[in-house]
Structure 1
Amino acid sequence: MKIAVMGAGAVGCYYGAMLAQAGHQVVLVGRPALVRAVQADGLVLEKDGQRHVCAVMATDDPAAVAGADMVLFCVKSGDTETAGRQIAPHLGAGALLLSLQNGVSNAERLAQVTGHSVIPTVVYVASAMAGPGVVRHEGRGDLAIGGPGADAAGAVLRAAGVETDVSDQVMSALWAKLVLNCAYNAVSAIARLPYGVLAQVDGVMPLLDQIVAECRAVAAAEGITLPEEVSQTVHGIPNWMPGQFSSTAQDVMRGRPSEIDFLNGEIVRLAAKHGIDVPINRTLTLLVKLIERQQAE
């Protein structure tokens, strides 16, 4: 199959590499530095102590999605509409379009701007760019997907070694991940500390419990039933990924805009719709935005 990755960052490059290793024709649409590195040396995947060089194509032209049987849409949430409009004229009618993004509203927003059905996808992978064209796998790598076309997409992904759960509860899973992101992302970004260190600071874990409680109230108002194990998962993350910085922390440390408006900020917006007060999520959103403003000056 021809598979395009729109937004080839750490997530897109990881799954692009896995699919390329399975023999698919993969094209990455990314930043110029990535494109130059991949064109010169291939896409390098560091996984399980080994270094794999994957033969993929790379470009900064969104038109490269033309003819793709599957498109992995991995751009930052704030870029969904812009990037969606860029690929819309080039999407084949039968292309499987997957939204591998944080937050709970991206699949719907992407469908609106492309006029194409979108498969919501929950991403469970710890990966990072170790340099231009070099993606390092640091943990997990499974996906949960749902909706029309999910069975076909799941078969392709599983055949490439990507554990993929096809579920009619994908929105609940997206919300569960949103809650995890709301608990850790902003706190890790403000403190510029990894999860394992954060958990050792007195008062941090009770704070995370309060964040989760606010998110639960908003989810319930939205008619979403969160998995019972969400709180246990929040408490387990520092043990599973002690050295991991949140994606928001990585953005802040690189001076890039974060997705805070689609994480804690999403909770704030939805809470206002239902008349629910979420002071901690509101404060965390404001603090991250203040850091971003300071960096932009």
Structure 2
Amino acid sequence: MRIGVIGAGAIGGTIAALLDRVGHLVEVTARGEQLAAIRDGGLRLDGGCGSHTARIAAAETLQTRPELAFVTTKAQDAPAAIRANAAVLDGITVVVVQNGLAGLREAEQLLPGSDCVGALALYAASYLSPGLVSVTTTANTYLGAGDGPPPQAAVDAARILDAAMPAFAIDNFTGAQWTKLMVNQINALPAITGLSAQQVLGDRRLRAVVTASLQEATRVGYARGVRYGSIQGLDDRILRVVARAPRWAAQAVPLLMKRRMGSTPNPGSTLQSIRRGQLTEIDYLNGAVVDEARTAGIEAPVNAAITALVHEVERTGTFLSPDQVHERMRPLLA
């Protein structure tokens, strides 16, 4: 099958390499050093999904019309990437693999003639150097759309992807997006401190910040009428308890996340962007919580402060120590 992957970074590179490994004809888009490396030596994958070098076509935009496409850019880059490839995406199934809440909705608006479905990648991968992607934690990918049963396009795309990596079409995709947003509450603190996710969650002071932001975000979801989906060991029942529990009890969820990550250091996608000198997705993660809170007529001060700290690190290039983070956030944790 001809498959296009728009954005051959950590997530897209993993999908592209694994689909190539099972025999699909894969073309990717990339830029700069990543594009040059893929053209020169292929797209190399290692880590939890095994090793493979995918000798695949690569360009800044898709050069041939695929039968199935995955959009795996950063959330803020997706609209421009979709517009740049719109001519070859029209009329096919397009799978939007994105953090945050807006990606699928934006794709549907930009591609009215296509079957657009969403996907949530629960595995962790790192874009280590040009041409090399490493899977640090293996996990499922979930596909769907809306709050009902998955559309047929999601079922078909999940079947194709599942031959290369664990993938499932699910009900209540909107609720699952919100649950993934809760999982991504761990993403900001590594970007602020330069530490791995495991180190952040192992630090009592930083874990308190993550727990506070998680509780606040969960409450915002309920204020917006969300029924959380079941992924990564979290579901609506557990998150309802998290929203109401004292912080010392709610920290059990971040500790569960730490155990699920294993021992290989997980920098998180936001820290990876910082290290590459790129803008992060923070406005689509903790920033999305702030926006949803505003829509609900409430505030999300912890998530707003975390979003501001990530932007500070983007601007200055200087990480904060755990002590500095604790001092900055302490007034909001009382």
Q: Please indicate, yes or no, whether the TM-score normalized by the shorter chain is above 0.5.
A: yes
Q: Could you say what secondary structure the match of 1:193 adopts?
A: coil
Change in Cα spacing, 1:210 to 1:49, as seen in structure 2 (3 Å) is closer
Equivalent pair of 1:127/1:138 in contact (CA under 8 Å): yes
Deviations 1:258-288 (A, max 9, x none): 0011001111111111121211001011111
In the TM superposition, what is the alpha-carbon distance from 1:252 to its structure 2 partner? 1.5
RMSD: 1.9
Structure 2 CA distance, aligned partners of 1:216 and 1:194? 23
Equivalent pair of 2:187/2:197 in contact (CA under 8 Å): no
Q: Could you say what secondary structure the match of 1:256 adopts?
A: coil
Structure 2 CA distance, aligned partners of 1:110 and 1:146? 14
* Counterpart residue number, 1:262: 284
Counterpart amino acid of residue 15 in structure 1: I
In the TM superposition, what is the alpha-carbon distance from 1:233 to its structure 2 partner? 4.5
Equivalent pair of 2:4/2:62 in contact (CA under 8 Å): no
Please tell me whether residue 2 in structure 1 is matched to residue 2 in structure 2: yes
In the TM superposition, what is the alpha-carbon distance from 1:92 to its structure 2 partner? 4.0
In the TM superposition, what is the alpha-carbon distance from 1:50 to its structure 2 partner? 4.9
In the TM superposition, what is the alpha-carbon distance from 1:104 to its structure 2 partner? 1.2
* Counterpart residue number, 2:331: none
Matches of residues 97-112 of structure 1 in structure 2 within 5 Å?
97-112=94-109
* Counterpart residue number, 2:232: none
Counterpart amino acid of residue 32 in structure 2: P
Counterpart amino acid of residue 167 in structure 2: T
Task: Give the unaligned 5+ runs of structure 1.
Answer: none
Q: TM-score, normalised by structure 2?
A: 0.82
* Counterpart residue number, 2:157: 153
Matches of residues 26-37 of structure 1 in structure 2 within 5 Å?
26-37=26-37
Structure 2 CA distance, aligned partners of 1:202 and 1:3? 45
Q: Could you say what secondary structure the match of 1:188 adopts?
A: helix
* Counterpart residue number, 2:259: 239
* Counterpart residue number, 1:121: 119
Structure 2 CA distance, aligned partners of 1:15 and 1:239? 25
Q: Could you say what secondary structure the match of 1:244 adopts?
A: coil
In the TM superposition, what is the alpha-carbon distance from 1:200 to its structure 2 partner? 2.7
Matches of residues 1-297 of structure 1 in structure 2 within 5 Å?
1-48=1-48, 50-60=50-60, 62-64=61-63, 66-93=64-91, 95-115=92-112, 116-147=114-145, 148=151, 149-160=153-164, 162-181=165-184, 183-226=185-228, 227=235, 228-230=237-239, 233-241=253-261, 242=263, 243-295=265-317
Equivalent pair of 1:122/1:177 in contact (CA under 8 Å): yes
Which stretch shows the higher mean deviation, 194-203 or 251-260?
A: 194-203
Equivalent pair of 2:126/2:272 in contact (CA under 8 Å): no
Q: TM-score, normalised by structure 1?
A: 0.92
Deviations 1:156-201 (A, max 9, x none): 11122x11121122111111111121x2111111111112222232
Structure 1 CA distance, aligned partners of 2:162 and 2:41? 27
Task: Give the unaligned 5+ runs of structure 2.
Answer: 146-150, 229-234, 243-251, 319-334
Corresponding residue pairs, total:
291
In the TM superposition, what is the alpha-carbon distance from 1:10 to its structure 2 partner? 0.8
Change in Cα spacing, 1:124 to 1:50, as seen in structure 2 (3 Å) is closer
Q: Could you say what secondary structure the match of 2:280 adopts?
A: coil
Change in Cα spacing, 1:38 to 1:63, as seen in structure 2 (3 Å) is closer
In the TM superposition, what is the alpha-carbon distance from 1:51 to its structure 2 partner? 3.1
Equivalent pair of 1:188/1:195 in contact (CA under 8 Å): yes
Equivalent pair of 1:67/1:92 in contact (CA under 8 Å): no
Structure 1 CA distance, aligned partners of 2:271 and 2:109? 30
Change in Cα spacing, 1:186 to 1:49, as seen in structure 2 (3 Å) is closer
Equivalent pair of 1:124/1:142 in contact (CA under 8 Å): yes
Which stretch shows the higher mean deviation, 226-235 or 105-114?
A: 226-235
Deviations 1:211-242 (A, max 9, x none): 11211121112221221345555322222325
